[in-house]
Amino acid sequence: MSVPPVAFLGTGLMGRPMIRRLVQAGFPVIAWNRTAGKAEPLRELGVRVAATAADAVTRAQVVVLMLADAPAIRTVLLADAVRALLAGRTVIQMGTIAPTESRSLAQDVDDLGGEYLEAPVLGSIPEAEAGTLIVMAGAEEAAWRRWRGLLAVFGEARLVGPVGQGAALKLAMNQLIAAETAAFALSLALVEREGVPVETFMEVLRASALHAPTFDKKLERMLAHRYTDPNFPTRHLLKDVALFLGEAEHLGLGAEALAGVRAVLERAIAQGHADEDYSALREAILRR
C-alpha cells in the first residue's frame, strides 16, 4: 500500500520528532518552517525542506499543521498562494487551538474544496520521539477512517467526535497541566518554608490519592531551579490557559481559579521565563 506525501508545516519542539516518526514509517515528508534554519537539520533524515509553505503543500496530498496558534495557522494556511492549493487536499491541524477556532478553520478549508481534521496531541517531546502521544481527533467518520493510520504513527489515536471536540478535550487536558503544576509548586513552597523535608512531603503525596506522575517529573526541575531545554515553554501554556478562559466565559463556566493560575504564569513570564519550561511558574510563586 502506497503512502501519501506529507507537507509538515511547523518544525518546532514537537514538529521535529513527529516528522522523524513519519519518516521512519515510510512517509515522504516535505517540511516548512517560518524560521528556515529550524528545518534544515531534517534534510539528514531525507526530508525535503521547502522554501515556502506553498512549495510544501503543492508537493503533498495531506498537510499537517503544528503551528503556534490559530492566527499563525490562518496567516500560513489561508495566504493566497496556499489557499489556492487546498482543493482536493486534506489538512490535519495538530496544534492547540480553541474549538471555535478549529470549527472556523474547518469551514474555511471546506469552502476551498479541501478536507479538514483536527488532531491535537497530549504528551511532550519524549512521547513524540517514542511515538506514544495521545492523539485526540475531531473529524467526520469517513475522514477519520481515511487518515487514522497516519495519526497512529504518532501514538494512540482516537476519534473523540466531530471537529471541535478534539480541540475541547485538548484544552481540558492543558487546563489540568496548568492547575496541577501551580498547585504542586505552591504546596512544595509551603513545606519548604516551614522546614518540612521535601522527601517526607513526596512520600506522603505518593501514598495518597492526590498524587499525579507529573509531580515527580517536575520536582527535580523545581528543586534545582533549572528550566532550560523545555518540553513545553511557559508562554505556550499561558496561551492555552487564555484559550480555556475564553471558552469558559463563552460557555458560562466559573473559572476564577484558573484566572489565578494565569496571573502566576504572567508573572513568571515577566520574570524572564517565557521560553523556559512551564515548571518555572514556581519562581513566580516564590516571589517573596
Taking only the tens place, the pLDDT of each residue in 149-171 is 999 999 999 999 999 999 999 99
Copy the grid coordinates of residue 209: 490519592
DSSP 3-state assignment of 210?
coil
Provide the mean pLDDT of the chain. 96
Residue 287, pLDDT score = 76
The strand pairing partners of 48, in sequence order, are 30
**Are 205 and 215 spatial neighbours (Cβ–Cβ below 8 Å)?**
yes
* CATH 1.10.1040.10 domain span(s) along the chain: 168-285
pLDDT of residue 163: 98
CA–CA separation, 63 and 22 (whole Å):
13
Residue 288 has a pLDDT of 62
pTM equals: 0.93
Average pLDDT of the segment spanning 93-120: 97
Q: Report the topology of domain 168-285.
A: N-(1-d-carboxylethyl)-l-norvaline Dehydrogenase; domain 2 (1.10.1040)
β-pair type (115-118, 121-122)? unpaired
Give residue 36's pLDDT. Answer: 85
* % of the chain surpassing 90 pLDDT: 95
Question: Would you identify the CATH topology of the domain 6-161?
Answer: Rossmann fold (3.40.50)
Instruction: Give the whole-angstrom CA distance, residue 195 versus residue 165.
Output: 45
Segment 93-114 shows an average pLDDT of 97
Positive or negative, the CA dihedral 278, 280, 285, 287 is negative
